[in-house]
């Protein structure tokens, strides 16, 4: 729900990539996620290292802002297919990180440089994974649309349905098919009535072409 906040504390080991001290350090991260609206999410992190030299001298603060931005040129004037506020959106991510020095440390320049390198690698890798996940979601949507169309078409035509007009055409085709089936059923029923009368020995039966159902009707009418 909008204006809701959730918080959790994570503990894990992180690679230090340091020339001195252990290769891995224990880390504690306090993570707070706040949903300001259905289009805006803010994630704030505070990370503190331990069991490495000078780890008590600094902490790292992060802010990840995830925003859904409506595309201006989505082909519908920003109104979407239904004209009710829909349309295409782009996911915009803004990341800010800062090293906060708790107390004086002579290795502050090295700490800031290493933190910047590590955070850059982290965000770059995350963006690549997120992009792959979005592409996988799009592919699943395309597969779902293809499966839906296979059920709609009786002839098994494998065509991707991507817009509302194409779906209307499919429904129109099914409607025409249903109407033709009803006409054929009525046609057989009329001739069955004739056969029943003939089988009862009524020699005075005459038939004529009926135009009550249309100029090109194949119906017969008993006189």
Q: Which residues, including other chains, have CB under 8 Å from residue 116's CB and lie 6 or more apart?
A: 97
Question: What is the pLDDT at residue 179?
Answer: 65
What number is the average pLDDT over the span 22-45? 92
125-163 pLDDT, tens digit per residue, is: 998 998 899 889 889 988 888 888 777 765 544 444 445
Distance CA 14, CA 55 (A): 13
Question: What is the pLDDT at residue 194?
Answer: 61
The secondary structure of 125-152 as a DSSP string is: HHHHHHHHHHHHHHHHHHHHHHHHHHHH
CA torsion angle 112 115 120 122 (round to 10): -170
Backbone angles phi, psi at 119, to 5 degrees: -70, -35
Enter the pTM of the model: 0.57
HSE-up of 9 (CA within 13 Å, CB side)? 3
pLDDT at 11 over 90: yes
Classify the phi-psi angles of 83: left when phi > 0, otherwise alpha if psi is within -120 to 50, otherwise beta: left
pLDDT at 167 over 90: no
Question: What is the pLDDT at residue 14?
Answer: 86
Question: What is the pLDDT at residue 8?
Answer: 96
| 16 touches 35 (CB < 8 A) | no
Instruction: Please give the structure tokens belonging to residue 35.
Output: 């949903």
Classify the phi-psi angles of 64: left when phi > 0, otherwise alpha if psi is within -120 to 50, otherwise beta: beta
Q: Which residues pair with 31 in a beta bridge?
A: 8, 45
pLDDT at 109 over 50: yes
Question: What is the pLDDT at residue 48?
Answer: 93
Residue 191 — pLDDT band, cuts 50, 70, 90? low
Distance CA 172, CA 29 (A): 57
What number is the average pLDDT over the span 164-181? 59
Between these two residues, 173 and 195, which has the higher pLDDT value? 195
pLDDT at 23 over 70: yes
Question: What is the pLDDT at residue 61?
Answer: 96
Question: What is the pLDDT at residue 41?
Answer: 94
For 215, counting Cβ atoms within 10 Å of its Cβ (0-12 exposed, 13-18 middle, 19+ buried), the class is: exposed
Closest CA to 123 of 68, 36, 60, 71: 60
């Amino acid at each position: 729900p909008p204006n809701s906040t959730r918080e959790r504390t994570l503990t894990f080991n992180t690679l230090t990539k340091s020339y001195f001290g252990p290769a891995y350090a224990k880390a504690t991260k306090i993570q707070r996620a706040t949903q300001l609206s259905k289009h805006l999410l803010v994630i704030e992190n505070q990370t503190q290292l331990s069991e490495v030299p000078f780890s008590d001298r600094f902490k790292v603060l992060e802010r990840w802002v995830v925003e859904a931005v409506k595309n201006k040129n989505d082909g519908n004037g920003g109104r979407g297919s239904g004209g009710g506020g829909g349309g295409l959106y782009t996911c915009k991510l803004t990341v800010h990180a800062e090293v906060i020095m708790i107390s004086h440390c002579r290795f502050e320049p090295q700490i800031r440089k290493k933190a910047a390198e590590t955070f850059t690698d982290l965000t770059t890798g995350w963006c690549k994974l997120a992009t792959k996940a979005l592409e996988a979601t799009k592919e699943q949507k395309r597969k779902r649309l293809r499966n839906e169309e296979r059920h709609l078409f009786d002839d098994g035509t494998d065509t991707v349905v991507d817009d509302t007009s194409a779906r209307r055409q499919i429904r129109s085709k099914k409607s025409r098919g249903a109407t033709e089936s009803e006409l054929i059923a009525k046609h057989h029923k009329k001739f069955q009535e004739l056969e029943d009368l003939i089988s009862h020995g009524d020699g005075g039966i005459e038939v004529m072409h009926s135009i009550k159902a249309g100029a090109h009707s194949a119906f017969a009418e008993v006189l």
